[in-house]
């Protein structure tokens, strides 16, 4: 009888750990969304659009100072690829010491003007900010 109770407890804990791991993985997932007029683009797990800056180069961000206020950095220690190739994601350490997630070498950002999931208000801003394409 005691052995059965121990086995049930171990099973319950194992199930909890598996479900928590799935939730954590989804919390860090980058997903692909699609919208008329802009096509397919990357979002974080909450559906917030991710952007790239045309002035950046592979593995290096050119956005600093006030730019980072308007274009907050996207960073996750580990990215769940959500159907994308995990190898396409990496982390850079910027000149200001902050870490930033990259996709295919390009640093990823949010736009402060996006207030809700599926907002894409940063698309085409000053002809240098674009939604990150899958």
Kind plus residue range of the DSSP H or E element containing 52:
strand 51-53
Q: Is 3 domain-assigned?
A: no
Is residue 9 a part of any domain in this protein?
no
Asked if residue 14 belongs to a domain, the reply is no
pLDDT digits (tens, 9 = 90+) for 25-78: 456 799 999 999 999 999 999 999 999 999 999 999 999 999 999 999 999 999
Q: Is 103 exposed, middle or buried (0-12, 13-18, 19+ CB in 10 A)?
A: buried
- Residues 92 and 61: beta-carbon distance below 8 Å: yes
Task: Give me the domain span that covers residue 95.
Answer: 30-131
Within a domain: 109: yes
- Tens of pLDDT, residue by residue over 73-124, are 999 999 988 889 999 999 999 999 999 999 999 999 999 999 999 999 999 9
Give the separation between CA 18 and CA 90, rounded to whole angstroms: 25
73, part of any domain:
yes
What pairs with residue 34 in β-bridges? Answer: 40
**How many C-beta neighbours within 10 Å does residue 33 have?**
19
For residue 91, is it within any domain? yes
Element (H, E) at 42: strand 39-43
Residue 108 lies in a domain: yes
Interatomic CA distance for residues 50 and 107, integer angstroms? 10
Distance CA 128, CA 124 (A): 6
Q: Residue 17 — pLDDT band, cuts 50, 70, 90?
A: very low
**Per the structure, how many domains does the chain have?**
1
Residue 115 in any domain: the answer is yes
């Amino acid at each position: 009888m005691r052995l059965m109770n121990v086995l049930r407890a171990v099973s319950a804990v194992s199930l909890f750990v598996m479900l928590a791991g799935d939730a954590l993985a989804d919390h860090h997932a980058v997903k692909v969304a699609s919208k008329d007029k802009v096509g397919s683009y990357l979002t974080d797990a909450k559906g917030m659009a991710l952007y790239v800056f045309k002035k950046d180069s592979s593995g290096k961000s050119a956005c600093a100072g006030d730019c980072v206020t308007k274009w907050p950095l996207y960073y996750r220690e580990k990215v769940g690829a959500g159907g994308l190739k995990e190898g396409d994601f990496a982390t850079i350490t910027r000149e200001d010491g902050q870490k930033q997630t990259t996709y295919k070498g390009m640093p990823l950002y949010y736009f402060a003007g996006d207030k809700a999931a599926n907002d894409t208000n940063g698309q085409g801003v000053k002809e240098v900010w674009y939604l990150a394409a899958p």
